[in-house]
Structure 1
């Protein structure tokens, strides 16, 4: 097998024409939205304006995104994140598992052009409506992760010790993300250092 063929095989099957067209439409809506947000502000921009700038109908917009907030907050990485979780080997302790989750999910986000878009991240960190919506999304994600971590560690999802552990880990990570300065995306090292401090008992 040639090197080119091996590379193609590693990337998996090529998306269908329908899938590629859907991806182009999503990208067009996101691009139009970000241009409008930069030009006139997030709050002043309407769904109708975004749809018009992306050259799609109002109905088509809502086929792709539930709301204006989700244009910014959503990405296309749910399947990739699920595969990463399923690929984690057994036997890690609770901190090892969280480190692995952070490392793998950080990498998959960093490799995605939209998820790692600095302008998108700054908008999420500075606009009040998006801060609120992002927190709601984060709360839902934590519920899902709690179930996964509980299954992995062999404990009940409502175990108090597990809930406190996840709340503490999430708290220090959200602190790092929210305090990078000027809306910058935190580095993986910063996130892992914060988790190390938690494991060490938060020494000062």
Structure 2
């Protein structure tokens, strides 16, 4: 990556940091692009050079690149599910305290702001391709391998289940929910061997 590209990434991350602070402190709807630009001490036009809309600030994921690098560095022979859990935990642990808090803010708003949630639902298919693009090379298979796609789909299901638990008020931190649900997969897919039962008639 060139020096120019690294500088752009740092500026984008800094703009997002100021935006997430404002979203946390005064609310997403109440925060304007002008507020974000002023907090970052840049012009409105500079903001739009890095983000097309206010929504794009939430869609920008600064943690995924860290996870990709960590996944590529996992020791050979590590069981895949263990590797996924380790990378998830370590990537968030590598962030500073404020960065972890703001990432939680970002994920919470991405889950609860209707416009953002709709965009993420539309991108689910791309999410599968992205995950398969990591799982395939990590297992020595191609991204379109049936088992790679199946495992990648299961990981997407884990993400959806974690969000559902958060929506139901059954969890406090999305990262902890993801780790807990991934841990349950260690003994197999839950309910896969469970017999079908009919409700008792009154």
Is 1:130 aligned to residue 116 of structure 2?
Answer: yes
Residue 202 of structure 1 is matched in structure 2 by 190
Distance change >3 Å, CA 139–CA 185, structure 1 → 2: farther
TM-aligned CA deviation for residue 38 of structure 1: 5.6
TM-aligned CA deviation for residue 45 of structure 1: 5.0
| Alpha-carbon distance between aligned partners in 2 of 1:71 and 1:159, rounded to the nearest angstrom | 34
Residue 197 of structure 2 is matched in structure 1 by none
Is 1:143 aligned to residue 126 of structure 2?
Answer: no
Is 1:192 aligned to residue 179 of structure 2?
Answer: yes
Q: SS at the partner of 2:101?
A: coil
Runs of 4+ in 1 over 6 A off after TM superposition: none
Residue 81 of structure 1 is matched in structure 2 by 67
Is 1:70 aligned to residue 56 of structure 2?
Answer: yes
TM-aligned CA deviation for residue 69 of structure 1: 1.4
Residue 199 of structure 2 is matched in structure 1 by none
Structure 2, unmatched stretches of 5+, are 195-202
Alignment of structure 1 residues 96-135 onto 2, 5 Å = 96-108=82-94, 111=96, 113-117=98-102, 118-135=104-121
1:95 to 68, 81, 85: 81
Give TM-score, length-normalised by structure 1: 0.67
Q: Is the 8 A contact 1:126 1:183 kept in 2?
A: no
| Alpha-carbon distance between aligned partners in 2 of 1:100 and 1:131, rounded to the nearest angstrom | 27
Alignment of structure 1 residues 176-187 onto 2, 5 Å = 176-180=162-166, 181=169, 184-187=172-175
Residue 157 of structure 1 is matched in structure 2 by 143
TM-aligned CA deviation for residue 112 of structure 1: 5.9
CA deviation map 1:141-174 (0-9, x unaligned): 5423312211121222112222122111221233
| Alpha-carbon distance between aligned partners in 1 of 2:122 and 2:173, rounded to the nearest angstrom | 20
| Alpha-carbon distance between aligned partners in 1 of 2:154 and 2:79, rounded to the nearest angstrom | 16
Q: SS at the partner of 1:113?
A: helix
CA deviation map 1:83-118 (0-9, x unaligned): 312211111233233223323334335x36335324
Q: Is the 8 A contact 1:150 1:162 kept in 2?
A: yes
Give TM-score, length-normalised by structure 2: 0.68
